[in-house]
Amino acid sequence: MTTATQVPSGTYRAPLHNCDYESLVPNSYVIYLIPGHSLEQHSEAVGKDMKPFVHHVFDMYTEKVVYVGRPVDGRLLEAIRADEGVELVECEDEPQLDDELEKEL
């Protein structure tokens, strides 16, 4: 594995969704790996150890790895999306309290 982020050379780009919200967390993404694609394989494909970028792993997904990656700059985002083991990338938005809950607070 290299220490610098690999520059994507293929044509695959995982879809990037939900980036038009007003309340996005800067440089933070939810990354969905395909079933059977480990974080180690993902790191190898990206060319960078991704463990330091894993902010949270969603344990509700038992069939695949889904994690919040941050801080992720543009170059790293492109390398992540170029990994054919990445199913989907979503921009992370700030959780919003619903109106009723806000009234109670």
Residue 34 inside a domain? The answer is yes
pTM of the model: 0.81
Q: What is the CATH number of the domain that holds 40?
A: 3.30.70.80
Residue 100 inside a domain? The answer is no
Residue 99 inside a domain? The answer is no
Q: Which domain holds residue 78?
A: 16-94
Structural contact between residues 89 and 15, judged by C-beta atoms closer than 8 angstroms: yes
Residue 81 inside a domain? The answer is yes
Amino acid symbol at 93: D
Residue 105 CA to residue 100 CA, distance in Å, equals 9
Residue 4 inside a domain? The answer is no
Residue 5 inside a domain? The answer is no
Residue 95 CA to residue 75 CA, distance in Å, equals 26
Q: Where are the alpha helices (DSSP H) in 61-98?
A: 74-82
Q: Number of folded domains in the chain?
A: 1
At residue 4, the pLDDT reads 47
Contact residues for 96 (Cβ-Cβ < 8 A; gap 6+):
23
Residue 37 inside a domain? The answer is yes
- The per-residue pLDDT for range 69-97, each reduced to its tens digit, is 999 999 999 999 999 999 999 999 887 66
